[in-house]
């Protein structure tokens, strides 16, 4: 037997085929159409696209973030609905799908973060996500700005007007 036949027979024995189909369509006897796919996976794809668009970094980081979040959300929604049983949920099937999608999104984000860390480490970086790299850069910029501000404030930078307000013998300000 081929692997596909073994998996299909195992799925039939567990009743997964009908449950997954019912999780998408609402009925195990109904064929899956485009409207069912759009209703079940549309928001997962939309939020995966938003995650990709909002992720800083290169195209690879954006693809990883968007793909893992879309796949995680889709699998989470269908998985929770199939686990509960779409026939028991009835008209509340979409609420189950949404709750599972949120959980799947979080799982997808964790997978995506680890994949982006691995990508950064392989590329010679420090193994950080784009947000972690951005945060480190901003911390470095803030430290430099504070250093300049403090040096200027106390007249330690030549050519600033504050240097004339300091008594050179004591280092204190002149009133």
The confidence score (pLDDT) of residue 174 equals 59
pLDDT of residue 175: 52
Under the banding of pLDDT at 50, 70 and 90, the label for residue 163 is low
- Checking if the pLDDT of 162 tops 80, the result is no
Q: Decide which of 60 and 152 is more confident.
A: 60
Half-sphere exposure of 122 (CA within 13 A, CB side): 7
Percent of the chain with pLDDT over 90: 49
pLDDT number for residue 90:
80
pLDDT of residue 46 exceeding 70: yes
Find the DSSP H helices in the chain.
3-14, 16-25, 34-54, 59-84, 86-89, 93-122, 130-153
Q: Which stretch of 18-32, 69-83, 113-127, 159-173 has the lowest confidence by average pLDDT?
A: 159-173
Q: Does residue 84 carry a pLDDT above 90? A: no
Q: What pLDDT is recorded for position 59?
A: 96
What angle do the packed helices 16-25 and 34-54 form, to 10 degrees? Answer: 80
Q: Is residue 93 predicted with pLDDT exceeding 80?
A: yes
Lowest mean pLDDT among 6-10, 69-73, 80-84, 140-144: 6-10
């Amino acid at each position: 037997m081929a692997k596909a036949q073994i998996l299909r027979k195992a799925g039939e024995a567990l009743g997964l085929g009908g449950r997954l189909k019912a999780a998408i369509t609402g009925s195990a006897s109904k064929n899956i159409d485009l409207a069912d796919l759009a209703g079940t996976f549309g928001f997962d794809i939309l939020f995966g696209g938003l995650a990709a668009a909002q992720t800083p970094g290169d195209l690879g980081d954006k693809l990883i973030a968007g793909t893992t979040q879309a796949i995680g959300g889709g699998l989470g929604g269908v998985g929770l609905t199939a686990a509960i049983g779409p026939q028991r949920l009835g008209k509340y099937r979409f609420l189950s799908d949404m709750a599972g999608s949120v959980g799947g999104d979080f799982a997808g984000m964790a997978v995506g973060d680890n994949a982006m860390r691995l990508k950064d480490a392989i590329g010679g970086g420090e193994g950080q996500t784009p947000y972690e790299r951005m945060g480190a850069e901003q911390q470095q910029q803030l430290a430099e700005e504070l250093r300049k501000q403090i040096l200027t404030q106390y007249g330690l930078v030549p050519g600033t007007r504050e240097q004339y307000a300091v008594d050179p013998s004591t280092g204190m300000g002149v009133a």
